[in-house]
Amino acid sequence: MPYIENPKTKGSGIVCCIPQKGHCPNKCPECFFQNGRSYLEPLADNLPNMPDPAQVNALGQVVRVNDGNDSNVQKEVVLPQTECYRDKFYNTAIPDLDFPGVVARAYAGGQCTETKRQMPVVLTINPGRLCDERFFTLEDCLGEGMVNGTDPALVKYLVPPVNLMFVRLLVSPFNTELVARAIRHWTDWEIPVVLTFMAYHKEPRLQTVRCGTPCDEAAQGWTERRRTLNTYWAVEAETWASIMYAYRKNKLVYSCGEGMNGSVKCRQCGNCLREYFATKLRIADASCR
Ligand code: SF4
């Protein structure tokens, strides 16, 4: 089936792929891929969606694996199906950053020896229903036993996985305090944080209880407008600017897909390409030690 390009990454040097079939089991509410408005509809006809590896490698393009779905879902399919791309990074919303890839093969005496390295990964730290509730910490990514209450005496020995390109942090009208904590946590570890502003299909409402009475309030700072292909409730330019201004002194905080003039495409952004190549160098450096 012919490859369909993601209009957001078009012309940026990044091409997207989805190796799996069907819907993502994570079922994050508001995910563009889940709601029948993806550029890949009908999904039953258009997945997997894989660009031609010969062309991608010849042009030196970087493959963003899973602009829909999750790279930790059916990993046994995802890893072999993407081995053909020289430059690639994996998107996931599950804190398992183990993405080994073959970087060299040597043949001797009828035997093939493979050299594997971890591949760059982008982790969404507050996906789906977690968006306004909690975020994955470094301890979550380091596995069982480190979760919930790392021994303070051991904290200094934690090291972020070398293949973590950046974390993606979803920003909603309701999670200002969580965003501040997540930025502090991850940038203290020198991990870049890319803010992704939530886009809603329906007007987002805040359900609160005031003086014992349930209240339903309109969210401040989000408005109905067009983004890439569809119309959503998306962040207003002034809200976006004030949030970015609040973090202006933190050199590791960036924004995805938004700017003063509304939606921004990857070609005008460059976050992913910059962090991909920085991570690739870091991985190569670490493997020489
Ligand atoms: S961070 Fe920038 S380059 Fe990466 S997906 Fe968002 S808009 Fe595209």
Dihedral (Cα; 27, 187, 267, 18), 10-degree rounding: -30
Ligand 1: centre distance to CA 217 (Å): 31
One-letter identity of residue 184 = R
The answer to whether residue 4 sits within a structural domain is no
Ligand 1: centre distance to CA 268 (Å): 9
The answer to whether residue 2 sits within a structural domain is no
pLDDT given at position 161:
93
The answer to whether residue 155 sits within a structural domain is no
The answer to whether residue 3 sits within a structural domain is no
Mean predicted confidence (pLDDT) in 107-120: 90
How do residues 126-177 score in pLDDT, each as one tens digit?
999 999 999 999 989 986 554 445 565 666 677 899 999 999 999 999 999 9
Mutate-to-test residue for ligand 1 from 194, 227, 255, 268, highest number of ligand atoms within 8 A of CB: 194
Mutate-to-test residue for ligand 1 from 271, 275, 279, highest number of ligand atoms within 8 A of CB: 271
Total count of domains within the chain: 1
- Which domain range does residue 258 map to? 14-143+160-288
> What rounded mean pLDDT belongs to the chain?
90
Q: Residues near 14 by Cβ (< 8 Å), separated by ≥ 6?
A: 61, 62, 63, 64, 266, 272, 273
How do residues 24-56 score in pLDDT, each as one tens digit?
888 888 887 877 888 999 999 999 999 999 999
Ligand 1: centre distance to CA 89 (Å): 13
Mean predicted confidence (pLDDT) in 10-23: 95
The answer to whether residue 248 sits within a structural domain is yes
Q: Is the CB of 257 under 6 A from ligand 1?
A: yes
What ipTM, to 2 d.p.?
Answer: 0.95
The answer to whether residue 153 sits within a structural domain is no
- Nearest atom of ligand 1 to the alpha carbon of 254: 1
pLDDT surpassing 50 at residue 10: yes
The answer to whether residue 39 sits within a structural domain is yes
pLDDT given at position 97:
95
The answer to whether residue 150 sits within a structural domain is no
If you take atom 4 of ligand 1, which residue's CA is the nearest one? 272
